[in-house]
Structure 1
């Protein structure tokens, strides 16, 4: 790699994830949402879901999707975050967003979502970004609302009984669609 193209120390580097990244991505996503390590950050789901958040096959499926990408975000050569972007006609889907728990609250998430929105708008011509969030995650939904997303009231049932997505700790889980025009 040419030294002119290397990020400066502390600068973020964005790249498409590759199959060799799967184990590191699973570990990152799990650390941000499940188990005791997730409690270091504020995005934990440990009180509402036990078990796994994602498995290697799920990550590989996103990486291999020809209509999208899984962005790997590195800082000083270390994986610090990731997010899924998928082209869906005139809108894009944003998902699988994870930031290392110890870096949450540092502004990193704002930077990454802004980059994802820019990519969807400029590279794909997307007019809107969509995502689904577990409806009881009020703090997380409020964070997205501060970034211009709005609640739609459109709900999708949580896949109870499919432990690939976790083991629900309460009976009222569902996903709400959030949207943001990309201008």
Structure 2
């Protein structure tokens, strides 16, 4: 790993935290103890009322978690809740929270959430389920209507970036 202090950045040190199963994993922390700050960038305010920001300027970050899309599958990868977008959205959020927890993060650490759906109008009717689950923590987002997802019964997938 390159030490960014050589290029004028903050020096990093390796830290070790346990995973949910107790095995350790290493990550880098800012030795100056700078906390991450989110600065909402909203040239117009319509998005704030919808529960997301047009952009987030992140300063002082230490860790970045880039999540593959999480969808409505059980522990074996089998799709659940076919034909029910609301239930699939809830399960996708559960799965996203599980990935975040494994990295000792939470939904409040998500700075970008890309949403892929085969049913745009239905998703928008249930969008408050996402913002309610985030409990006031806003994020940058892109919502994309797609003809299909990884499985024929899947209707929604959530791709997130989290930082702390």
Specify if TM > 0.5. Answer: no
Higher CA-based Rg: 2
TM-score normalized by structure 1? 0.27
TM-score normalized by structure 2? 0.29
Larger relative helix fraction: 1
Higher relative contact order (CA 8 A, sep 6+): 2
